[in-house]
Structure 1
Amino acid sequence: MPRAKLIVRIPESLWIHEVSTAHPDVTFRVTSVLPGPDVAIGVIELSASNPVPILAAIEDRDDVRDLELLWTHDETALLQVETSDPSLLAPMQRAGVPIETPFEVEDGVVTWELTTSSDRLSALGSSLDEHDVGYRIKYVHDVDAGRAEQLLTDRQLEVFLTALDSGYYEVPREATLTDVASTLDVSKSTCSDVLHRAEGTIAHWFAEEHVAPASRDR
């Protein structure tokens, strides 16, 4: 069961491309989305010192049917946007790949994390190609979820996957232990302890399953 991260370039014709590229330092965090054949409704969280110009830019777009400001606090605003052009989500629907939220849009690029079958992931790639949507695959991990759940506690699995997805295991590292702890809203020492236990469990399982006894005895 593959788990993948895709970096997708949003078509320039869509409102979110224009608005996000006009405000490249703002992260648009889509917390929920309801796609349809000719409409899509999304709840979006953004942080900006002055969100008014961003709201005006969204409302000014012809492909935005409706914009509601749900709430605002300090520099954070929560919006509900209804668009008449759901083409960005169409490849996901056609491939039968569930849309995982939250996902983020920054400077004309959306990052999707997906868990689906190999066939559906391949179909998604083909569908993106057919729609001429540029993308790159950040990673694909073949994860046996059932086995992982047996190996690790729920907390260990959460911490390990957060570290994995954040780039903690990339070379060079894209995230520090402090970054992972901050994402999970726990102390660095707690994060380190849970992650160390998870890594130890996975290492022992790998050695038992994939390393010959003679090699382990050296």
Structure 2
Amino acid sequence: MRLQEGHWAGDLSRAIPEGTLHIQEHMPIGGGRGRTSAYIADAASDQWKKLLEVHSGIEDVEIREQGEEIHLVLIITRDGGGFPRPLRMSGLLPKTPFQVSDGWVRWEFDGPSDRVKHLIDELQVERVPHRIRSIGTRGKRLLTERQRYIFDRVMESGYYEYPRRTNLTKLAERLDTSTSSLSETLMRIEKRVMQGFQEDIRRRS
């Protein structure tokens, strides 16, 4: 998700795009303000220091250098950062740590599918630039242990490569099973994989 202009992390990372800002912890401290601990990697320390000292969204900052990293504890003003409105409306909380680079924050969420959908809808309504990397579900295993074992052996053998590096008969011999039994198992695996990832395939195609 692209952070808006005026957001301290978005502005700083856009000003020095070769650096990466790692947000480790964040918490509200009252009055709309927040406390954040972070560190910066891959950027010249003097550049970051100057920007941290003058940004209007930062009320106070402690800077500590550790090797090539700059560690920070910041007090963020009411309008200086925080989560975008679509995220607050969804009720989802990003996992920490997360990274900000060149104005883009990469967040991961754990939550009910209806809240995830609500977040996506709100982002689209408010036209917030964003990219969805993947959406997954937890719960029942996609494959049984036997199916997973066969799946790994089949992928290692190059059966699904083009051109194929092996055939069904050789695979069956390697797995000590009949070709008909292996063919049936592969059909079950393919069905589960296609059903499990159909939405992701549609989004990325």
**TM-score clears 0.5:** yes
1:83-102 pair list within 5 angstroms: 83-84=76-77, 85=79, 86-102=81-97
Larger radius of gyration: 2
Cα deviation for residue 74 of structure 1 reads: 1.2
* Counterpart code for 1:55: K
Once the two structures are superposed, what CA deviation does each residue of 1:67-111 show, in whole Å capped at 9, x if it has no partner?
112x32111111012222235344323211022111100001111
Aligned counterpart, 1:117: 112
Cα deviation for residue 19 of structure 1 reads: 1.3
Rounded to whole Å, the distance in 1 between the matches of 2:94 and 2:51 is 26
Rounded to whole Å, the distance in 1 between the matches of 2:53 and 2:67 is 21
Cα deviation for residue 132 of structure 1 reads: 4.1
Paired positions, count = 150
Rounded to whole Å, the distance in 2 between the matches of 1:137 and 1:72 is 34
SS at match of 1:43: strand
- Please list every run of 5 or more consecutive structure 2 residues that lacks an aligned counterpart in the other structure: 146-184, 194-205
Matched residues, percent identical? 24
Of the three residues 52, 55, 76, the one matched with 2:49 is 55
Aligned counterpart, 1:189: none
Structure with the bigger RCO (C-alpha within 8 Å, sep 6+) is 1
SS at match of 1:17: helix
Rounded to whole Å, the distance in 2 between the matches of 1:28 and 1:57 is 13
Rounded to whole Å, the distance in 1 between the matches of 2:106 and 2:116 is 15
> In 1, are the aligned partners of 2:20 and 2:43 still within 8 Å (CA)?
no
- Is residue 67 from structure 1 mapped to residue 58 from structure 2 by the alignment? no
* Counterpart code for 1:128: L
Give the number of the structure whose residues are more often strand, by fraction: 1
Rounded to whole Å, the distance in 2 between the matches of 1:33 and 1:81 is 9
Rounded to whole Å, the distance in 1 between the matches of 2:68 and 2:190 is 51
Rounded to whole Å, the distance in 2 between the matches of 1:49 and 1:115 is 31
Aligned counterpart, 2:129: 134
Give the TM-score taking structure 2 as reference length: 0.62
- Please list every run of 5 or more consecutive structure 1 residues that lacks an aligned counterpart in the other structure: 1-7, 153-202, 212-218
Aligned counterpart, 1:207: 189
* Counterpart code for 2:123: L
SS at match of 2:134: strand
**After alignment, is 91-100 or 127-136 more displaced?**
127-136
* Counterpart code for 1:38: G
Rounded to whole Å, the distance in 1 between the matches of 2:31 and 2:122 is 16
